[in-house]
Structure 1
Amino acid sequence: MNTKNNMCRLITDKVLLIAAFAAISLSVFQIWQGITADLSAPVFRPIHLSWILILVFFTLPLIKSQQSSFQYLFGRSLDLLCIIAITWASYHIVSFDYGDISFLMDGLTTLDQLSGLIIVVLLLEATRRTVGLVMVVIAVMFLLYAIFGDILPSNVASKGFSIEEIVRFHIYSTNGIYGAPLAIAAGVVFIFVLFGAFLQVSGAGKFFIDASFSIAGKYRGGPAKASVIASAALGSISGSAIANTVTTGALTIPMMKKLGYKPEQAAGIEAAASTGGQIMPPVMGAGAFVMAQFTGIPYSEILLVSIAPAILYFGCTLLYVHLMACKLGLKGMEITEKISVVLKNGWHFLLPLLLITSLLLMSYSPILVGIAGCVAILVAAMCRKHSRISIPVFIQGLKEGALLALPISVACGTAGIVVGVVGQTGIGLQFTQFLMALSGGYLWSVLGLIAVAAMILGMGLPVTAAYIVLSIMAVPSLTELGVGLLAAHMIVFWLSQTSNVTPPIALAAFAAAGIANCSPMKAAVQAFKLAQGFLIIPIMMAFSGLIWMEGENTEFVISIVLTIGLIIAVAGSIEGRLLTVLPLYSRVLLLLSAFSLLAPNHFINIAGLIIILMITFVNYKHSKASGDQQVQKS
């Protein structure tokens, strides 16, 4: 038995060593391709995906080592066969002669079809291992619809395609698996994930967390507010709400609990804040780059219009955190590092962020901007003695970047199946017609249905995949009702984020609950309450001019004011307090005023704002009076 266990450990060590070498090599290859762009899309994308799939089968075995030695060795043998099959099939696809268009008329050969089927099946298996079974089920359902669509009722029927036609469309073109979602994941997203990995290994992540505590730690509920600020700084760079939750939460959640927050409150705060990082410029996670590809709008423009909504979201979260601290009677941290000291030690870590923001706003290629950011963070780290990184740490960054990209590339490849089936069968138009009929043609109803669909999809899909699937199905419904193209995509993008904080399956909240040692469901409820901005702000995007357009500055400013009023009204009515406790009638008035801010009439909007201001002013007077009375008693 000991001999078999030793053999298992030896095999595991060897496999992990090979996987580390493959991960480092992938990062080097991606940087080389980003600089030279030597490989065409039909060559580069299959190479990238095959490399990703091989890493998945190396790092996520079919059978865990905790099982019996025989089962583990058997599982590893199957993994090796899968790796060999991926290598053979990908080589066949890369060497396929796309110049000879006879395959479009005569069809694919048996070997061509076999290669394509191997990639489809093993991509789905890799998706199961990295993302979960739900996304596999969704992709398989779409494939079955493409095959058997001709036997369905006429209102949902499609032509019905053969296996050869499906393989040809999804593998031997840039429309399916190797389509736009994978192109974004293999290009700009990978580079920015690598940039985030370098930020972490260089110590920049710790600098942003320390700076957040210096800025907000001394105020009421300090660690919670620091968590929000740190997540805003780190969230968009990490590329994952869950990764951000684990990274910052490991420090902030214990401190919040020590200050007096309940464990589920601490977990909810961290989850809501970390999820918000996905909508915070300059990087905004993978979905924003997909949006640029889908809309044809430059990323620099998407970045600009996202700044105000992102600030409003974090302002909303900070407001809830403050009200929660007031309810619990919490104070700030007694001892915090001076911000001047933190900046003195880590100001150089700000330079790479300033660089990539400037270059993105100047409309440089996002891939080259990401590579420049990677170089900049390494140069910045080497400029100061205390932050210099060694060769092993640099190599660790290359490895971590590749491994962090695995679930993103796999999810985007599988999402390409859904996008491809929608394009091949035309089901997107039918879904749009169904959504319009079900909603009665009202924007309110469509927004509600999209929000529900986003939450359901988010139970099994990563945020980026949920956005891709939802955007191709739901955006046409919004544009038909007069919502602009960019605003429609932004609404869907924001609503797709709710999956991380919405019960019954809230991935970021569940990750935070593990750190806080509390009930995942209670943490999810708290996170959903704190992340109200993900519902409030998309509503304002639809019903006001919150998405800035050139020449609409007045409407944009009005929309910001109305959104702030809406955030305060909803928070006060839910929490039952602003500066002090609110009576029931004030909470009811705030709720009614919130609805008035959504009216298309500015006079009604102004009336609602006046009521909110009056309630806030009266509440301030009461809080001041109660404070004076306490001072007199003491």
Structure 2
Amino acid sequence: MSHKTDPIPHAVQDEDHPVATSTAAIADGVDEEVVEPNRRVFAGWQFLLFAGLAIAYSGFHLFSLNIYPIETWSFRIVHIAGALILGYGLFAGARFAESEAVASPAWLKGVALALLIPAAYTLFQVFMMHQTLSGGAMRIDPAIESLHFGYPLMATTAAAIVLSWFLRQARHRFNPADLVLMVCALATAGYLLLIYNTPLRASTGTSFAPIGISWAAIAGSLLILELTRRVAGLALVVISAVFLVYVFAGPYLPGFLGYPGLSLQRFFSQVYTDAGILGPTTAVSSTYIILFIIFAAFLQASKVGDYFVNFAFAAAGRARGGPAKVSIFASGLMGMINGTSAGNVVSTGSLTIPLMKKVGYPARSAGAIEAAASTGGQIMPPIMGAGAFIMAEVTGIPYTEIAIAALIPAILYFASIYFMVDFEAARKGMRGMRRDEIPRFSHLVKQAYLFAPIIILVAALFMGYSVIRAGTLATASAAVVSWISPHKMGIRSILKALQLAGTMSIQIIAVCACAGLIVGVISLTGVGARFSSLLLGLAGVSQLLALVFAMLISILLGMGMPTTAAYAVAASVVAPGLINIGIQPLVAHFFVFYFAVVSAITPPVALASYAAAGISGDNPMGTSVASFKIGLAAFIVPFMFFYSPAMLMEGSALQILRVGVTATLGIVLLSGVVQKWFFGPVNGIARLVMLVGAMFLIYGGIYTDIAGLAIAAALFVLQRRQFASSPHPT
């Protein structure tokens, strides 16, 4: 990380020299921009150029969403093309050269520069085709589309991608191969904009479709896959490649996986439409996600993130194991607005993990707690990361209804983590932070107005404003509120926020476009329907077996992928099957969403856990196993949706209240089972009884609730009697 070299403040580094006052903030730099290892750091005219592009990109979305909307497909094509151009400008395809002496040889750069000629030629051909169609022609000659546009574009894109893997330069230098890719992205978008704004758009997916659409779609898919590799790693790219292979290998596969097959032209002439790349995932990233990234950037510019973390320290720092509880509150607050589990770990964990280790948590526990808490930020209403917006788009269920339904599950998840860390702190006799080690609550309350943008967002949503209008109001309010805070936003700060938003959006837009490619394969090959029939067959044997299978597939599809992509893919493959076996759409999609989220802490590929291990210094696999245990409730709660829909606010007020209270008690017992502690140490037999009681309470039935409450009451009485006179830590 570039923005913190020593995350432990001076006030907590030396217990023998406490400071005299606690008004000073602990968190400082939470809102600083994190510079990824493969992101270029420019200076001079290059910095101004890409800063200007990022500002223009963010400004384009604000203008189009609020003032002058443009045609849907055109808007989404520009949305993806802008991210590709910015992404290839800012993110390198290979490790940076540590010095000019070890940079790639000049001839390799010369080859890259030579590729600019065919790239520019394809862009020129787009202009010529525009002239031809403007002159009254009904379509372009297929030979011209292939020989003068398609073949050069394909060859240049593929060659530049491969070349970018081997072309190493210093971090502050621009890569000529990436310049070629930027021109190819421009040519691809230009051709698609040209064709999709003519009657030829209706021919996509048929034998009458212009061959150029297929060439542009192949080049565009390659560009999306390569950028996804750079900003999100190989996992999503490999899964996408498997799905793409399936398109052409499907006819040769046995059983339910087999299908008649699609030709290369027919598939690619349709995949870069709203059936695939321009479909639901890009629809959400080009509206809701980009808007909330801009909102988050404005909050960062006004230092609200620092305030959130300091507020959490003031509220929970003095409790036993204080920093661990701080990480729960801080990660919940930050996770609502930043949308990625691993990103949340990096922003808050660099502060909370060292402090947890200081009060007695082992490195593994500290990393696991932060990973589990940061992952929970994705399910915390009202914003819930980007996945909730995709859920609203796919299901047609209003976003406000989804946010309300998420309330009890989110409370259960964070209650589980809270009691896990509390029982561990009690078992190990850990202390909280001293009064002089945390900010003074009375001092922070005076700045409670910094919560105003989030309150305005929630109020606007529940008053019936559209998500776009509510997000825009909240963004504007973040700037206004800053004017009465110590970090006032002027023109420079607003431009900086827009630049930050443009840069921050690259990863999620690439991921959504890549997920759209997978969604396109699923919809065009019909594999989702065949998976549904498989689930239906399993449900005939046992609905629980079908749910377990759906859980495993959702986690498998989500491993190594950001939440948004994980949910988008799982929603296309798994959710329709769950709906077909009789599960309500809201319950089915929440089931899939939860497991897509917790894939970030599920071994063996757990992105959030790996990010936390990098900060704590512990073994990544060990941290992922520990975070899996701490987040155990998240693997049980989705089954509660099925057996007790009141968990998602479906039912009478009394049913919802009963299920919420008893499930919370069940979560407390489950935490005690994992940590071997209730009001004192718990032996093997008592843990088994606690587990039974926890399952009864979590199940949600009236009789199981009564039995669970009886077990919990008996355990409470026995534990209090056993340890009333014992000097155990409390």
Q: Does 1:183 align with 2:283?
A: yes
String of CA shifts for 1:451-494, please: whole Å, max 9, x gaps. Answer: 22233223232111111111121113322343211011111111
What SS does the aligned partner of 1:297 have? coil
Structure 2 residue identity aligned to 1:83: M
Q: Structure 1 pair 623/425, CA: closer, same or farther in 2 (3 Å)?
A: same
Is 2:377 the partner of 1:277? yes
1:151 corresponds to which of 252, 271, 287: 252
Partner SS state of residue 48, structure 1: helix
- CA–CA separation in structure 2 for the residues paired with 1:538 and 1:58: 41
Separation of aligned partners in 2, 1:157 and 1:583: 53
Match of 1:32? 63
For normalisation by structure 2, the TM-score amounts to 0.81
Instruction: For residue 433 of structure 1, report the CA deviation from its aligned partner.
Output: 1.9
Alignment of 1:339-350 (within 5 A): 339-344=441-446, 346-350=447-451
The reply to whether residue 331 of structure 1 matches residue 431 of structure 2 is yes
Query: Structure 2 residue aligned with 1:475, among 568, 575, 586?
Result: 575
User: How many angstroms apart in 2 are the aligned matches of 1:400 and 1:132?
Assistant: 21
**Given the alignment of the two structures, is residue 64 of structure 1 paired with residue 95 of structure 2, yes or no?**
yes
Please point out which of 62, 82, 88 is paired with 2:181.
82
- Alignment equivalent of 2:344, drawn from 235, 244, 248: 244
> What do residues 337-391 of structure 1 show as CA deviations (whole Å, max 9, x unaligned)?
33221121x222111110001111223211221111111101000123x221343
Structure 2: distance between partners of 1:319 and 1:236: 21
Q: Shift in Å at residue 521 of structure 1?
A: 1.9
**Structure 1's 16 and 453: CA in aligned 2 closer, same or farther, altered over 3 A?**
farther
| Structure 1 stretch displaced more, 112-121 or 190-199 | 112-121
- 1:157 partner amino acid: G
Q: Residues of 2 paired with 1:533 and 1:423: CA distance?
A: 33
Looking at structure 1, the residues matched to 65 and 41 of structure 2 have their Cα atoms a distance apart, in angstroms, of 36
Q: Which moved more, 1:478-487 or 1:402-411?
A: 478-487
Q: Which residue of 2 aligns with 1:111?
A: 212
Report Cα offsets for 1:309-328 as digits up to 9, x if no partner.
11121111100010111121
Q: Could you give the per-residue CA deviations for residues 77-129 of structure 1, whole angstroms, max 9, x where no partner exists?
A: 22111111110110111122444147355523343332222111111111111
Whether the aligned pair in 2 keeps the contact of 1:381 and 1:389 (CA below 8 Å) is yes
Partner of 2:123: none
Q: Per-residue deviation at 1:416?
A: 1.0
Q: 1:608 to 1:56 in 2, by over 3 A?
A: same
Q: Which has the higher helix share?
A: 1
8 Å contact from structure 1 (residues 279, 306) kept in 2? yes
Cα distance, 1:235 vs structure 2: 0.8
CA distance in 2, matches of 1:14, 1:617: 72
| 5+ residue gaps, structure 2 | 1-39, 113-166, 168-174
The question of 1:442 aligning with 2:555 is answered: no
Q: Report Cα offsets for 1:481-540 as digits up to 9, x if no partner.
A: 432110111111111111211222211111112222222222212211111221121121
> Could you tell me how far apart the structure 2 residues matched to 1:630 and 1:380 are?
44
**Cα-to-partner distance string for 1:418-440 (whole Å, 9 max, x where unaligned):** 21122112111111222343565
1:22 corresponds to which residue? 53
Change (3 A) 1:10 1:100: closer
Write the letter of the residue equivalent to 2:355. Answer: M
CA drift at 1:291: 0.2
**Aligned partner of 1:141: which letter?**
V
- Classify 1:600/1:508 alpha carbon distance in 2 versus 1 (closer, same or farther; 3 Å): closer
Superposition deviation, residue 23 in structure 1: 1.3
**Aligned equivalent of 1:195, options 287, 292, 295:** 295
> Retained in 2: the 8 A contact 1:497–1:534?
no
Deviates more, 1:568-577 or 1:14-23: 14-23
Q: In structure 1, what residue type is equivalent to 2:492?
A: P
**Separation in structure 2 between the aligned mates of residue 549 and residue 323 of structure 1, nearest angstrom:** 29
Question: Does the 8 Å CA contact 2:644/2:701 hold for their aligned counterparts?
Answer: no
Alpha-carbon distance in structure 2 between the residues aligned to 1:154 and 1:524: 36
Alpha-carbon distance between aligned partners in 2 of 1:352 and 1:450, rounded to the nearest angstrom: 38
Structure 1 residues 97 and 271, CA gap change in structure 2 (3 angstroms): closer
Provide the residue aligned with 2:227 in structure 1. 126
Name whichever of 540-549 and 96-105 sits farther off.
96-105
Distance 1:122 1:213 in 2: 44
Q: Quote how far apart the aligned CAs of 1:50 are.
A: 0.4
Letter paired with 1:59: L
Matches within 5 A, 1:113-512: 113-153=214-254, 155-171=256-272, 173-335=273-435, 336-344=438-446, 346-384=447-485, 386-438=486-538, 441-512=541-612
| Separation in 2, partners of 1:32, 1:555 | 45
The equivalent of 2:676 in structure 1 is 576
Distance of aligned partners of 1:595 and 1:313 in 2 relative to their CA distance in 1, 3 Å threshold: closer
Select between 270-279 and 458-467 the one with higher mean Cα deviation: 458-467
1:54 pairs with 2:156: no
Letter in 2 for 1:337: P
Q: 1:155 to 1:505 in 2, by over 3 A?
A: closer
Across the two proteins, how many residue pairs are aligned to each other? 619
Pair 1:549–1:307, CA change in 2 (3 A): closer
Deviations 1:392-426 (A, max 9, x none): 33222212212221111111111111211221121
Q: Is the 8 A contact 2:224 2:514 kept in 1?
A: yes
Whether contact under 8 Å (2:288, 2:468) holds in the other structure is: yes
SS in 1 for 2:677: coil
Q: CA deviation at 1:275?
A: 0.8
Output the CA distance in 1 between the equivalents of 2:42 and 2:389.
Answer: 39
Structure 1 residue 136 displacement after superposition: 1.7
Structure 1 position 10, deviation (Å)? 11
Q: Tell me whether 564-573 or 401-410 shows the greater mean CA deviation.
A: 564-573
Aligned-CA RMSD value: 2.2
Q: Is the 8 A contact 1:299 1:363 kept in 2?
A: no
TM-score normalised to the size of structure 1?
0.93
Alpha-carbon distance in 1 for matches of 2:452, 2:599: 33
Q: In structure 2, what is the Cα distance between the partners aligned to 1:599 and 1:536?
A: 9
- Residue 53 of structure 1 and its aligned partner are, at CA, apart by 0.8
Q: Report the identity percentage.
A: 32
Please give the alpha-carbon distance, in whole angstroms, between the structure 2 residues aligned to 1:600 and 1:57.
Answer: 51
The worse-fitting range, judged by mean Cα deviation, of 208-217 and 585-594 is 585-594
Q: Which whole-Å deviations, capped at 9, do the CAs of 1:566-608 have from their partners, x for residues lacking one? A: 2122222222111211132211111222333466752233112
SS at match of 2:483: helix
The DSSP-based 3-state class of the residue aligned with 1:183 is helix
Cα distance in 1 for partners of 2:70, 2:41 equals 37
Gaps of 5+ in 1: 1-8
- Measured in 2, the distance between the counterparts of 1:117 and 1:27 equals 27
* Distance across 1 between alignment mates of 2:343 and 2:729: 45
Instruction: Using the TM superposition, give the Cα deviation of residue 447 of structure 1 relative to its aligned residue in structure 2, in angstroms.
Output: 2.5
Matches of 1:219 and 1:446 in 2, distance apart? 42
- C-alpha displacement of 1:617: 2.8
Q: Are 2:457 and 2:470, in contact at CA under 8 Å, matched by a contact in 1? A: yes
Query: Contact 2:560–2:606 (CA<8 Å) still a contact in 1?
Result: no
Check 1:428–1:44 CA distance in 2 against 1; reply closer, same or farther (3 A cut): same
- Separation of aligned partners in 2, 1:582 and 1:69: 60
